Structure 1
Amino acid sequence: MPSHVSADRSAAQPPGRGSVDALITQTRRLKGDMDAVRQDAQGDAADPQGRWQRALYDLALHQLNDLDTHLGQLRDGPPPVPTADPVPAAPAVSRRAALLSRVGTAEWNLLTDEAVWSEELYRILGRDPAAPPLTLDELPSLVLDEDRPKLTAMVTDCLVDARPIDGEFRVVRPGGEVRTVHMMGEPVLDGEGGTASMWAVVRDVSELRRSQRAVRESRDSLQHQRHRAQTEHRLAVELREAVLPPWRGSPRLAHQGPRSLDVAAHYLPAATTSLIGGDWYDALELSDGQTLLSVGDLTGHGPAVASNTAMLLGALRGMAMAGTQPAQLLSWLNQLMDAATQPSLGSAVSCRYRPDTRTLLWAQAGHPAPLLFRDGTGRRLNAPEGVFLGATSRAAYGQAEETLEEGDLLLLHTDALAPVDRLLGLAPRLAGARTAQDCVRMVVAECGESAREDDACVLVARVTR
């Protein structure tokens, strides 16, 4: 084959052996560190963020392995061509690219129509090394139909306009396996400036593209999950605010007569998650002058729980307005939850206060009992029997009665607020508070800053007359 020069530059000389050895040492140390981090990062395969992280680790390790191989071959130089090799030796201009792993080289002579392929190119394309290399006209027969125009355009631009080749296409191996290859090449000019031949470097990038695709798909899945989580969070917040509007000061109850209770409440979101839980509170002055006080908690998080909370509160208020007593009210709520299309468990405490006798009738369903504070001390009310809402279809609930005094303070809460002993320890401070809202502020200041794992509610009612 006639001697030739590259269309853009001559072959570069390899760097010194010592500097490459240093790079190899650094690369292998980095490979070990990366592999250790990758092993430590193994997590839930169903988690999109975990899949995305593992895909990135795999891609980085894959590229470091390539770099290690490339540097080793750069240090050692081109491998010798066996004398028994039936494949003609690759031209000098293409041997510089054979330093890459999974890389084949080829040169097509336009004057003699001869082709020279390296052994690695035969392996990449799945061809028999004993078979003659394909000419430029025959090469598209290995390429997928939809990628052939791309290859034809690249080769034409190289031969006609002396443009470098740099592009990817997919080839079909004899067994039907599809591989992605990246081709880089240049025209080789003769002494008169005409195109004498074309050389090319063909690299199998199938695994690299697979790793990159895994990173991209995992990233897209993670972004989709985050967008869905943000949407669900916004919907849950809107539902919660619709049924649990924030109370600032004592709520205005429906009855316009003299108030017998000063009521305030507060919802505390979880500190360790952005998910909206199922804690709720409610206070409602009824048409007969009595007052409904209740708090509860539904299991789970998100819009479905917020929707169930809205359903439960609607039923609770409707039955209370109809005069249903606390024990019967919880019994019917239990049946309602048991018959729901999305059954769930919940706890609740329901109180009905009669101002004329200062009597509190109450019942509970697997919920912490109310706390009664009087004269600077506090105690937990003795709880009647009651199982979780939704636990069994025909549950019976007991009912208790407590006589209150003017100045008494009743505290209802969900179990994630704080331990009962901690709440009872606030008794001396609560005794000096002037309003129910002041009491709520004290409770929130004491319990609201902790790194709680779940949301919580507190409702305070002070007997004013």
Structure 2
Amino acid sequence: MPSPRSADHPAAQPPERGRVDALISQTRRLRGGVDAVRRSTATVGVDRLDDPRLRWRRALCDLAVHQLDDLGRHLGQLREGLPTELTEDGSGAAPDRDGASDLTAPTTEPGRLAEQGAPLGRVGSAEWNFLTDEVAWSEELCRMFGRSPEEGGLTLDELPGSLHPDDQPLLTDLVTGCLVDGKPIDGEFRIVRPDGLVRMVHMVGEPVLDADDSTASMWAVLRDVSELRRSQRALRETRDSLQRQRHLVRTEHRLAVEPREAVLPPWRGSLRFPHDDAPALDLAAHYLPSATGALISGDWYDALHLPDGRTLLSVGDLTGHGAAETTGMAMLLGALRGMAMAGVEPGALMGHLNRLLDSSQTALGSALCGAYEATTRTFTWAQAGRPAPLLFRGGTGRALRPPEGVLLSAASGAVYAQTSEQLEPGDLLVLRTDGLTPRGADRNADAGAERLLELAPRLTAARSAQECVRAVAEAFGDEEREDDACVLIARVTS
């Protein structure tokens, strides 16, 4: 804002009224749209009031509404011309430094401000004449400080007494720098009104020099930015809360992934058992994440060459998601491997896993494990609440008839039966968890199995287990699933 010393310069001409009216109309429409979004956030259920994303959205809307209100008022002042309390020699608006300050002290609640009838972000002006000792405050500035226009303004000596004690030195430094060194005033401080309300005020000003370059007076424009700072503080708090929540989610995700990565087979691509000149099985596996990818489940797949020459194949999972489930999965898979290496048959092995999971009281689990004997091409297997393996032969596929078995930890002392299937060279076994079922599909219908059986011509024509895995990944990889899924494919080679 130019000082009165610039009276010899041509006065700035106001913009065309029609252009300002158009800007005001655009601002009102935008304000109405933002306010509609803000109101929509107030209709959520009580169970979502603690959602940091919702608080973030509300804070952004509040901030936008306050800024658009300020813009509308400033455009209205621009349309009406110079305010009467300013001299005709010059005027201007206070530079806006929204976001530059950190409001740490409590401010007035919006409801209490409304009771006072005061608009948000109001602006007032003041001039202190050192030649006549006159003090000229606008009516709006008087109301901002809780004073009546009849009381008038405060002198520069009286003004610090209206400030919060912690902010009084700041105002003293600003005024001293302005009067002694000619520095412009640009700062924020808290005022304490006679009614006890605390408001944050942004003040800009500069000295007015006379013909001898002596300070004749000082003018200032003060703006109440309390609600704007409150919205900015709420925005910072919700942003920080959201960042903390994201950090916790990332930490939990890492804690969930590490146990799973530590125990799942390290091989990628095809694996052949046994490792000799005439491998009996060609193996490949694939892990398909859920639609979000953020929920880590306790799904596993495994293949292990046993001391008696057989090959152990297993898949399974624990209910739930997170570090507890993947840690429990690691424990369960370790126990399964140990008992299989000791020669425990699949049916008895399922019973031991049931007692282990029941004693730990962690979660329900499902599993399927089987042992393939290469010399007889016999696959002996048992299951605990797991989808039956699919057998593909001669261009078609079917689900094997499952032996009796309930979910792990669902019934204490449960007995698990086992059954055997005679395989032939070129046969393909597909073991999988139930996460292949697309989102929204009936899980009881086993839509994943139906989709896999449709791939029978392609799978039986494949030259390797890895080629089969690629076919499954292409068919299911882009679908939205509610849960993770594992697929283990075993191809009989001899």
TM, length-normalised to structure 1: 0.84
Q: In 1, Cα distance between the equivalents of 2:197 and 2:384?
A: 63
**Alignment partners' CA distance in 2, 1:370 and 1:348:** 12
Give the deviation of 1:287 after TM superposition.
2.0
Aligned mates of 1:57, 1:224 — CA distance in 2: 22
What does residue 189 of structure 1 align with?
A: 209
Q: Does 1:54 align with 2:58?
A: yes
List alignment gaps of at least 5 residues for structure 2.
95-118, 438-447
Once the two structures are superposed, residues 321-378 of structure 1 have per-residue CA deviations (whole angstroms, 9 ceiling, x without a partner) of 233333343343334334447x333322122334455443322222211112233332
AA at the equivalent of 2:185: I
SS in 1 for 2:216: strand
Aligned to 1:445: 474
Q: Which amino acid aligns with 1:22?
A: A
Structure 2 counterpart SS, 1:416: helix
**Identity of aligned pairs, percent?**
62
Deviation track 1:97-143 (CA, whole Å, cap 9, x = no partner) reads 59995112222222344423222223222345554532212211222
Deviations 1:57-85 (A, max 9, x none): 322222112212222233234677xxxxx
Choose 148-157 or 276-285, whichever is displaced more: 276-285
The 5 A counterparts of 1:45-444 are 45-77=49-81, 102-127=122-147, 129-131=149-151, 133-245=153-265, 247-251=267-271, 259-340=279-360, 343-390=362-409, 392=410, 394=412, 396-407=414-425, 408-417=427-436, 419-444=448-473
Please list the CA deviations of residues 289-325 of structure 1 after superposition, one character each: whole Å capped at 9, or x if unmatched. 3332111123344444333322221122122223333
Whole-angstrom distance in 1 between the partners of 2:92 and 2:211 = 22
Aligned length: 452
Distance 1:260 1:100 in 2: 79
Provide the alpha-carbon RMSD of the alignment: 3.4
> What is the alpha-carbon distance in structure 2 between the residues aligned to residue 100 and residue 62 of structure 1?
7
1:204 deviates by 0.7
Equivalent in the alignment of 1:85: none
State whether residues 70 and 101 of structure 1, in contact with CA within 8 Å, keep that contact through their aligned partners in structure 2.
no
Counterpart CA distance in 2 for 1:7 and 1:225 is: 56
Greater shift in the superposed pair: 392-401 or 22-31: 392-401
TM-score (norm 2): 0.80
Q: Which moved more, 1:178-187 or 1:40-49?
A: 40-49
Query: Letter of the aligned partner of 1:382 in structure 2?
Result: R
Distance 1:453 1:33 in 2: 35
From 4, 11, 31, the equivalent of 1:6 is 4
Distance 1:93 1:108 in 2: 16
Which amino acid is 2:368 matched to? Answer: V
**8 A Cα contact 2:3 2:90, kept in partner:** no
Uncovered stretches (5+) of structure 1, i.e. residues with no partner: 81-88
Question: How far apart in 2 are the matches of 1:227 and 1:8?
Answer: 56
- The CA deviation string for residues 35-77 of structure 1, in whole angstroms up to 9 with x for no partner, is 3455567775544444334322322222112212222233234
Residue deviations 1:145-177 (CA, integer Å, cap 9, x gap): 332222111101111122211111112233443
For the structure 1 residues 448 and 14, does the alpha-carbon distance in structure 2 shift closer, same or farther, using more than 3 Å as the test?
Answer: closer
CA contact (8 A) 2:286 2:487 kept: yes
Tell me which moved more, 161-170 or 24-33.
24-33
Query: What secondary structure is seen at the aligned counterpart in 2 of 1:288?
Result: coil
Asked if the contact 1:59–1:208 (Cα under 8 Å) also holds between the matched residues in 2, the reply is: yes
Corresponding letter in the other structure for 1:288: D
Aligned to 1:35: 35
User: Letter of the aligned partner of 1:184 in structure 2?
Assistant: V
